[in-house]
Amino acid sequence: MIDIFKQHFKERGFKEPTAIQTAVHEAMANDKSVLGIAPTGSGKTIAFTLPILPKVMAKQGIQVLVLSPSQELAVQTTKVMREWAQLLNLKVMSLTGGANMRRQIDKLKSHPEILVGTPGRVLHLLETKHLKLSNLQTMIIDEADDMLQDSTLAVIEDIERATPITTQLGFFSATKTPVLDGLNYMFGRDIIEYDVRDEDHSQGLVRHGQMQIGSHQRGEMLRRFSHIKDFRALVFFNQTKTMMHVASQLKHDHVAAAVLGGQQRQTEREKALRMFRNRQLKFLLTTDVAARGLDIVKLPAVINFELPTEAVTYVHRVGRTGRQGEPGLVVNFGNDHDLRDLKKLLADQKYELKPIYFAHNQLVDERPKQGEQQERVENVQEKVHRVVRKEQLSDEHVNIGKSVSKTIDVAKDQPTKAKRHKKNRHNKNKGIRLKHRHQTEEKK
């Protein structure tokens, strides 16, 4: 590590390099192509940043390209690399799908030395001749186990063919999949593998809990979780439809939550992620678009609202919490059948899933006693009864008021019985007096 980096490393509060940073540094500094495998949160971005930046020459064109699987990870990587590149007066730029392409083309005219982008956007700019990689020295494929599959693999191969044959390659991942075994043949390079998963101890203590709960009750359980002090969670879904339904339910219940989805505009996704990082949201709901690489400082918990169907997916989801030595919590929702399948899925992993419960506005490891549960149920029932009785009394008062008002209105429209009787008596007496007067006059 060069002196200026050593000084900044100490100023950032880092005590010593992580296992992956130490393992790949010499090889990458000497232009060797490498495969680095290390747990999530172990500092893989800095692992490839520190050895390759000192080799970059200012104002000599694009010399480093980093490919990321998502817009969010590309923006995050850009921020990290820019922090170190500024110490060497180097420029870093991001090229992501969803952003304004014309603006990106204009920024390319400033001749950045380092690019971080998503494969689709990078390939499009190559095909339209707005981007040239003839001077490229190093290409990094982040989250390689995911990127080197299906259509994305074809895109990356097309990008690699646009680079010089001498370009150094770096592949980094948190998990080892069969596709990574064929890198030498796939890219025609001698690639050195560094797997430090057993040596790395950078992750904090993470509890993995399972909560047996029906699918229709999970949204209500999230609402209850929102009352836990200082609780925030990244909530994962398999289906976008379910995610949007739960988001609507939480909004109706006035719970601070937002969605991070692939169909959103980049500005909306950036806003949601920024608010969550700034602790303005209790929950950030997402699919696996946010499962890889995202670094959310001191994230308390991850919730699997819908359980993953692959062990690799579980590893990347839960890797968002417990990063850099911080404690973390994983809560898995599911019925009895779902949770049994999850345990089978993770049989070869080192996770120990234990039951977890919600009681007294907190998550506990022991099931609440039956008496406490019954007492809480009775208290809730009593509160509900009081509210219902209050509403009934209110309705009765309204009805009584309406009845009295109606009686008064009717009384105003009709004369009283006493007045009618007095008027009739008066008329009757008047007739008798007139008759008596006529008879007296006739006699005279």
Q: Is 146 helix (H, G, I), strand (E, B) or coil?
A: helix
Distance CA 246, CA 285 (A): 9
What pLDDT is recorded for position 403?
53
Distance CA 111, CA 56 (A): 13
What are 303's strand-pairing partners? 235, 331
* Strand spans (E) along 27-123: 33-37, 64-67, 92-95, 114-117
What pLDDT is recorded for position 147?
92
Single-letter code of the amino acid located at 130: H
Task: Report the CATH number of the 3-195 domain.
Answer: 3.40.50.300
Question: Strands 328-334, 301-304: parallel, antiparallel or unpaired by DSSP?
Answer: parallel
Distance CA 213, CA 439 (A): 103
- Listed in order, the ranges of the chain carrying CATH 3.40.50.300 are 3-195, 206-368
Distance CA 258, CA 286 (A): 9
Whole-number Cα distances in Å, 370 to 171, 257, 294, 384: 53, 33, 41, 21
Query: May I ask the CATH architecture of the domain 206-368?
Result: 3-Layer(aba) Sandwich (3.40)
Distance CA 99, CA 371 (A): 57
Question: Strands 92-95, 114-117: parallel, antiparallel or unpaired by DSSP?
Answer: parallel
Phi, psi of 221 (to 5 degrees): -65, -35
Single-letter code of the amino acid located at 89: N
182-203: b (≥16 Cβ within 10 Å) or e: ebeebbebebeebbbeeebebb
Please choose, from the candidates 33, 56, 54, 2, the residue with its C-alpha nearest in 3D space to the C-alpha of residue 140: 33
Output the 3-class SS for 339-370: HHHHHHHCCCCCCCEEECEEECCEEECCCCCH
Radius of gyration of the chain (CA): 37
- Eight-class DSSP state of 56: P
| CB-neighbour burial class of residue 109 (10 A; exposed 0-12, middle 13-18, buried 19+) | exposed
Look at the block and give the residue holding tokens 């180097």: 90
Phi, psi of 133 (to 5 degrees): -120, 30
What pLDDT is recorded for position 378?
44
Tokens (6 digits) for 424: 């009739």
Residues of the chain with pLDDT under 70: 290-291, 370-444
pLDDT digits (tens, 9 = 90+) for 385-418: 554 455 554 555 545 455 545 544 544 455 544 4
Look at the block and give the residue holding tokens 């009686």: 407
pLDDT digits (tens, 9 = 90+) for 124-136: 999 999 999 999 9
